Amino acid sequence: MKELKSVNKGFRKKDAMQLLTGKPVYTDDLVKEPCLIVKLLRSPHANAIVREIDTTEALAVEGIEAIFTYKDIDQNQERYTIAGTSFPEYAPYDRLIIDRHVRYVGDVVAIVVGKSEKCITKAMKLIKVDYEVLPAVLDFHTALDNEILVHPEDNWSAPANFGADVKRNLVAANCSSHGDIDEVLSKCKYVIDRTYHTKANQQAYMEPFTTYCEIDSYGRLHVISSTQIVFHIRRIVAKALGIPGSYIRVTKPRVGGGFGAKQTVVSEVYPAFVCYKLKKPCKIVYSRKECFIASSPRHEMEMHVRIGADENGIIKGIDLHTLSNTGAYGEHGPTTVDLSGHKSIPLYGKQEAFRFTSEVVYTNKQASGAYRGFGATQGLFAVESAVNELASLMKVDPIELRLKNIVKEGELMPAYFNEPLTSCTLDKCLLRARDMIGWKEKGQRRVLDNGKVRTLGVALAMQGSGISGLDVGSATIKLNEGGFYSLLVGSADMGTGSDTTLSQVAAEVLDTDIEHIHVFSADTDISPYDSGSYASSTAYVTGKAVERCALKIRNMIIKTGARMLQADPSECEFDGHKVYCGERSVTLEEVAFTSVIGSNEAIEATVSNSSKTSPPPFMAGACELETDLQTGEVKVIEYVGVVDCGTPLNPNLTRIQTEGGIMQGIGMALTEDVTYTDKGNVVENSFMEYHIPTRLEVDKLWVEFEPSYENLGPFGAKSIGEVVINTPSPAIQEAVYQACGKRFYELPIKAEDIVASQKK
Amino acid sequence: MQINLRINHENIRAEIDPDMTLQKFLRSQKYFSVKCGCETSNCGACSILLDGKPVLSCSVLAARAEGHEIETLEGLQKEAEEIGGFIADEGADQCGFCNPGYIITAIALFKENPDPSDEEIKIWLSGNLCRCTGYEGQMRGFIKYREWRNGR
Ligand code: FES
Ligand code: FES
């Protein structure tokens, strides 16, 4: 294979210095003045009907421009979903811009528009709302067939058939299986049967939801937003407002983190509606509190796992049932739950049977959405914790047990939609992680002189690379006068560095420096179609589109060069600078010039790409904890991660992705809690209560790669973004068990619970 | 009310609301490197220098800056590029939203203590949250920057 010059090199991100020197590149930095401010009056009740709302006094406040209530929205119109997924949508149509029936604490009661935050705050206090407060469903165990219906309305509908039954609070129900799991488990010598619970973690992107809207010079609605999904916003806003998509343009500037949160149209509809109504520019910036109480956190899930092994330590089957809490609205509900089984069960390749059943229910809590890992994180916490417990039961080493059982390249994965495993180095990842953490030398448990306990834990993870047969990534490349290239994509670099890695792919094919590739993302009027940056799709799906597009451009350059040299293209070569035919040559600049002067042929191409399969990336993670059994304090001494993401497109950026994902996983395991009061209020509604890891929590992260080569990916690449969040919670759960002798089946694992476990 | 202060070595006179935070005031004056990640003094995205010391501008009233010297990253571009280059070489800028906050805090740290230990760096920057990077890459950048400074 040719030596790589751009791909697999640790280039700086193309936008790095702009970001590091604090340039105005985010949505709220780009707002043109004057600009109206939009704020939302939110329900204090978990379930209520707005009997009457009086805005007279509020409207009289100086500076208030307009107040919209349910009276401004046709309550009988077709509902819509704000989940950013390809059409036809999976999620139920259950939203209105303002619904007279409010379904969680934080649901929108009124949209208030004014010249300043100050006047809006004043006006909000003067809006008089008379609520008919209804009893609420807050415990998701009791949601199914509860007499309280979260969505009793008649205009609820589900575009896709996921077994929803709104009259039962059921958003989706699914079952898939292979072989006879009950029979297989009944014959197993060792069976673990446990129930695990994970809560609604917050993505905690640093840039809050921010959207700015204006009417552009052509009279169209221009939505500028911090988002992962420009094209889905166009469709969803069009449906919500009842206007044609052709009237809407959506642009994404730099995005200050998304992690899936911005795969839902959380903030866009409100200012779009206001701007369309008033024909004036306006913006909405969510407070951090709103990000915590009224956005799109991880789905709370409860997973019942049964896993069995025979006397030789062969894992024979896994039976998983997942109950998922989608909250008051169904965004991403039917899809996230799927990953809890389909991206955990396939890790073990010798199973004779599996069964995966699931139910997704409505409750009167904040609606859930997409968060890095998208259900796989929850499922892997359950399955990997169960595998660790199985090893304990069998009195074998959890790494040895896994080495015996993990899926191997070339195998078919029944629980992964029967896709073949085309690339995998999971065994190498696990062996390397074992050595890096010092598994053999240290042993899983040792007591320090000061009485604290050092313990080790391990876990595996997988994810996908885009959604098979559905996700589309596209690239447009143009050769410009002067001999440099423009690369246009519709995927959203939300900090991942995809603008840079995609440029590296183009530069590799075109034999040029990445400085000569000028990348732009994303704008619905300019970028070629992309389903968006989610489902770990950008590197693999859009990356391949870029590779194929660059090849096409390469051939066009050769063709034009050949014509200039009066030669046949088959006799010509291109080295990135010149097109040669034997001794004779023309420069790229000359080719570019020819293509724009008196030319009938542009050197410009657009290529779309979709993949029939979704090759999984893999990861092995291992941790060393230091636990103080007296205080329950747990310190992560070291976390090691070894990843198979195929070819790392940019090793620096894949490393940072991995480190960041591990840190988020550590937060999920130990500090990040979401609890509700009995009235349905989120308790952890600021960074004061919702503890994401700081610089002081973890001593050392150590990440390495064991690249496989995925033939279907660009230069062998698979995805990286999501798989990396999945190992910490099961690995830490195991290490905590090693320390205190008690297994915790709910996250986060808190100091007080560890202390309590020591009381006889 | 009116305030007089210096921002990035320029005399500024402005009309403000008495309850306006310094963070809101600075953004209203178009110092966009000053971000808002929380408004509750927990994230560090709004860090600025007040008389050379890092403070969270969301927890200070603009009125309190009367007569003081404020610096934002807009006024420290050379320093930001110098340190930032080392972060960029690690790929640790990521989404970038937290960057101005910790870069300006680091500038203040290295001004006060040109040769901080790893632990001192961590403690100085502990109020600057980052959700993207896991901090490790930023730390690699700072260590290399420190070595480069020491070898200069
Ligand atoms: S905005 Fe000031 S600390 Fe977060
Ligand atoms: S780089 Fe995104 S929050 Fe730090």
For residue A618, list its beta bridge partners.
A462, A644
Specify whether B86 is located in the same domain as B64.
Answer: no
Backbone angles phi, psi at B85, to 5 degrees: -60, -35
Q: Does A704 touch chain B (CB under 8 A)?
A: no
Which one-letter DSSP state was computed for residue A538? I
Same domain, A398 and A476: no
Q: Using CA positions, which residue lies closest to atom 3 of ligand 2?
A: B130
Q: In terms of domains, do A452 and A476 share one?
A: no
A696:B123 CB<8 A: yes
Average pLDDT value for chain B = 97
Beta pairing, strands A315-327 & A353-362: parallel
Task: Assess whether pLDDT exceeds 80 at residue B152.
Answer: no
Q: What is the dihedral of CA A624, A629, A632, A633, to 10 degrees?
A: -50
Are residues A206 and B36, on separate chains, in Cβ contact within 8 Å? no
Q: Which residues 58-117 of A have a C-beta within 8 angstroms of B?
A: none
Report whether A97 contacts A122 (CB < 8 A). no
Taking an 8 Å cut-off on Cβ atoms, the answer to whether B129 and A692 are in contact is yes
B41 and B82: one domain?
A: no
Residues A310 and A386 in one domain: yes
For B137, the closest of A287, A288, A655 (CB atoms) is A655
Residue B30 CB burial class (10 angstroms; 0-12, 13-18, ≥19):
exposed
Placement of tokens 């165990």 in the chain: A141
Distance CA A572, CA B107 (A): 54
Helix axes A269-278, A230-241, angle to 10 degrees: 50
Q: Which residues of A422-433 are buried (b: 16+ CB within 10 A; e: fewer)?
A: bbbbbbbbbbbb
In a domain, A140, yes or no: no
Q: What is the pLDDT of residue A161?
A: 86
Answer for the pair A520, A526: CB distance below 8 angstroms, yes or no. yes
| Residue A160 confidence (pLDDT) | 87
Residues B125 and B60 in one domain: no
Q: Are residues B143 and B81 in the same domain?
A: yes
A434 shares a domain with A489: no
DSSP-derived pairing of the beta strands A473-480 and A604-609: antiparallel
CA B92 to centroid of ligand 2, rounded, Å = 8
CA–CA dist A678, A631 (Å, integer): 29
Same domain, A600 and A621: no
Smallest CA-to-CA distance from A114 within A41, A51, A52, A44 is with A41
Phi, psi of A410, rounded to the nearest 5 degrees:
95, -20
- Where does a domain end: B31, B47, B72? B72
DSSP A646: B
Is A1 inside any structural domain? no
Contact with chain B for residue A205, Cβ under 8 A: yes
A206 closest CB neighbour out of B33, B90, B131: B131
Tokens of A101: 């029936």
ipTM: 0.98
Domain count, chain A: 3
pLDDT digits (tens, 9 = 90+) for A125-171: 999 999 999 999 999 999 999 999 999 999 999 988 899 999 999 99
pTM: 0.98
- Domain shared by A631 and A702, yes or no: yes
CA of B56 to the centre of ligand 1 (A): 6
Residue nearest to atom 3 of ligand 1 (CA): B41
Closest Cα in chain A, distance from residue B101 (Å): 9
Nearest to A660 among B35, B38, B94 (CB): B94
The range of the structural domain enclosing residue B100 comes to 76-149
**Is the domain of B33 the same as that of B82?**
no
Output phi, psi for A403, to 5 deg: -55, -35
- DSSP structure string for B17-46: -TT-BHHHHHHHTT-TTS--S-SSS-S-TT
Angle A728-740/A376-394 helices, nearest 10 degrees?
30
Q: Are residues A480 and A587 in the same domain?
A: yes
Chain A hits for B125, CB-CB cut-off 8 Å, are 695
Distance CA A507, CA A543 (A): 12
Shared-domain flag, residues B94 and B54: no
The answer on A502 and A393 residing in a single domain is: no
Residue B41 shares a structural domain with residue B68: yes
Residue A383 and residue A272 share a domain: no
Q: Are residues B98 and B41 in the same domain?
A: no
Asked whether the CA dihedral A546, A547, A552, A556 is positive or negative, the reply is positive
CA of residue B114 to ligand 1 center, whole Å: 26
Query: Where a domain ends, among B72, B107, B131?
Result: B72
User: Residue A300 — φ and ψ, nearest 5°?
Assistant: -65, 135
Q: CA-based angle A172:A679:A204, to the nearest 5? A: 65
- Enumerate helices (H) and strands (E) in chain A, giving the number of each: 18, 29
Name all residues whose Cβ lies below 6 A of ligand 1: B 23, 36-39, 41-46, 56, 58
Q: Which residue, among A748, A753, A752, has the nearest Cα to A666 in the 3D structure?
A: A748
CA A529 distance to own-chain centroid:
19
CB contact under 8 A, A655 and B91: yes
Mutation choice for A interface testing from B23, B58, B132 by most A CBs within 10 A: B132
Residue range B48-71, pLDDT digits in tens: 999 999 999 999 999 999 999 999
A-proximal residues of B, 44-103, CB under 8 Å: 45, 72-74, 77, 80-81, 83-85, 87-100, 103
Do A453 and A535 belong together in one domain? no
Of B72, B101, B129, which residue sits at a domain end?
B72
CB of residue B123 inside a 6 A radius of ligand 2: no
Answer yes or no: do B38 and A204 touch at CB < 8 A. Answer: no
User: What pLDDT is stored for residue A760 in this prediction?
Assistant: 67
What's the number of domains chain B is made of?
Answer: 2
User: Which of the listed residues B34, B39, B60, B72 should we mutate to test ligand 1's pocket, taking the one with most ligand atoms within 8 A of CB?
Assistant: B39
Domain final residue pick, A577, A609, A641: A609
On whether both B85 and B35 belong to a single domain, the answer is no
> Nearest CA to CA, how far is A637 from chain B (Å)?
13
CA of A202 to the centre of ligand 1 (A): 18
Looking from the CA of residue B47, the nearest atom of ligand 1 is 2
Residue A373 lies in a domain: yes
Token pair for A333 = 């509900």
Residue A151 belongs to a domain: no
Q: Which CATH number goes with the domain that contains A494?
A: 3.30.365.10
> A170 lies in a domain?
no
User: Is A567 part of a structural domain of the chain?
Assistant: yes
The answer to whether A200 faces chain B, any CB pair under 8 Å, is no
Q: Structure tokens of A563?
A: 């014509």
- Do B50 and B85 belong together in one domain? no
Same domain, A308 and A238: no
Q: What CATH number is attached to the domain comprising A104?
A: 3.90.1170.50
Label residues A274-296 b or e (16+ Cβ within 10 Å = b): bbbebebbbbbbbbbbbbbbbbb
pLDDT value at position A743? 98
Q: Which of A681, A672, A687, A678 is nearest to A107 (CA)?
A: A681
CATH of the domain at B51: 3.10.20.30
**What CATH code is carried by the domain that includes residue B133?**
1.10.150.120
pLDDT by 10-residue block (mean), chain A, 760 residues: 91 98 98 97 98 98 98 97 93 98 98 98 98 98 98 95 95 97 98 98 98 97 98 98 98 97 98 98 98 98 98 98 98 96 98 98 98 98 98 98 98 96 98 98 97 98 94 96 96 95 98 98 96 92 97 98 97 97 97 93 96 97 98 98 98 98 98 98 98 96 98 97 98 98 98 92
Backbone torsions φ then ψ of A522, nearest 5 degrees: -135, 145
pLDDT on residue A393 = 98
What are the helix (H) ranges across B30-127? 77-88, 99-112, 118-124
Q: Are residues B67 and B88 located together in one domain of the fold?
A: no
Residue A540 CA to ligand 1 center (angstroms) comes to 36
Q: What H or E segment, with its residue span, contains residue A561?
A: helix A543-564
Structural domain range at position A582: 16-24+468-609
Compute the half-sphere exposure of residue A615: CA atoms within 13 Å on the CB side of its CA.
Answer: 29
Residues facing residue A478 across a β-bridge: A486, A604
